[in-house]
């Protein structure tokens, strides 16, 4: 389970994966950039490369919420919060053929690495994720209509080829101890006067 830096670590790990896999010779020597974007960045985007835009974060209700871990004092923490991170990967290039090549390359890289291992996550931000943790990267299911509405909100009449992805199994752990009552040692039943049996 990750701490509060889990979301930013996943975003940077995705960009790190692309940078580490990128070879300029695959793109006729064209230099690609890789960056995490906020909405304002779409107004002055990069010339060539891939941007990553986190547009939705939702709690995952389908996964069983895991118990909170034990802290250093041995206290059980509150249950972890499972999140799904919805990203938009946008391909930037002035030439259509280069844009299409980058799109196919990007999808192949993420298909080859559907699980971001702990080593990759830890190389970006040491200690955020526990050694047994990984996250899953899947193609998103955003409809064309929703995708166009999103682009209208970002840039009017400025659509660029984009591919949605979702990252699952991002569990954000709590720092608060679980408020558990003291264990029950003995059960004592008492009858109220109205429930008492009459004596003979």
Indicate whether 154 pLDDT > 90.
no
Which tokens belong to 163? 């591919």
pLDDT at residue 195, rounded to an integer: 56
Does 67 fall in a domain? yes
pLDDT at residue 149, rounded to an integer: 82
Which tokens belong to 174? 């709590």
Range of weakest confidence among 54-63, 84-93, 112-121, 159-168:
54-63
Rounded to an integer, the average pLDDT of 137-165 is 84
Does 111 fall in a domain? yes
For 87-139, the pLDDT digits (tens) are 999 999 989 999 999 999 999 999 999 999 999 999 999 999 988 889 999 99
* Alpha-carbon span 18 to 199, nearest angstrom: 83
- What DSSP assignment string belongs to 167-184? EEEEEEPPSSBP--PPPP
Number of domains making up the chain: 1
The order of strands in the sheet holding 81-92 is: 33-37, 49-59, 81-92, 162-172, 135-139, 115-116
Please answer whether residues 128 and 12 qualify as being in contact, where contact means their C-beta atoms are separated by less than 8 angstroms.
no
Does 116 fall in a domain? yes
Does 1 fall in a domain? no
Q: What percent of the chain has pLDDT over 70?
A: 78
Does 162 fall in a domain? yes
Does 123 fall in a domain? yes
Rounded to an integer, the average pLDDT of 36-64 is 90
More confident residue, 168 or 152: 168
Does 200 fall in a domain? no
Please answer whether residues 83 and 70 qualify as being in contact, where contact means their C-beta atoms are separated by less than 8 angstroms.
no
For 5-17, the pLDDT digits (tens) are 999 999 999 999 9
Q: Which domain holds residue 130?
A: 6-195
* Alpha-carbon span 62 to 139, nearest angstrom: 18
Rounded to an integer, the average pLDDT of 57-84 is 71
Which tokens belong to 58? 């939702």
Angle subtended by helix axes 6-21 and 96-112, to nearest 10:
120
Residue 74's pLDDT band (cuts 50, 70, 90): low
- Give the mean pLDDT of the chain: 84
Residue 3's pLDDT band (cuts 50, 70, 90): confident
Q: Is the overall model pTM greater than 0.85, yes or no?
A: no
Q: Which residues of 31-41 are buried (b: 16+ CB within 10 A; e: fewer)?
A: ebebeebeeee
């Amino acid at each position: 389970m990750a701490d509060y830096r889990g979301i930013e670590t996943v975003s940077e790990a995705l960009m790190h994966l692309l940078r580490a896999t990128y070879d300029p010779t695959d793109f006729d020597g064209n230099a690609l950039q890789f960056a995490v974007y906020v909405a304002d960045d779409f107004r002055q985007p990069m010339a060539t490369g891939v941007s990553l835009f986190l547009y939705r974060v939702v709690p995952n209700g389908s996964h069983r919420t895991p118990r909170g871990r034990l802290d250093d004092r041995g206290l059980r923490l509150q249950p972890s919060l499972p999140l799904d991170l919805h990203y938009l990967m946008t391909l930037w290039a002035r030439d259509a053929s280069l844009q299409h090549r980058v799109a196919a390359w990007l999808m192949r890289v993420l298909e080859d690495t559907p699980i971001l291992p702990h080593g990759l996550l830890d190389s970006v931000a040491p200690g955020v994720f526990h050694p047994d943790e990984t996250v899953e990267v899947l193609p998103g299911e955003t409809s064309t209509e929703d995708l166009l509405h999103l682009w209208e909100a970002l840039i009017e009449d400025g659509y660029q080829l984009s591919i949605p992805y979702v990252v699952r199994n991002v569990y954000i752990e709590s720092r608060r101890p679980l408020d558990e009552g003291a264990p029950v040692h003995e059960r004592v039943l008492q009858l109220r006067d109205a429930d008492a049996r009459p004596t003979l």
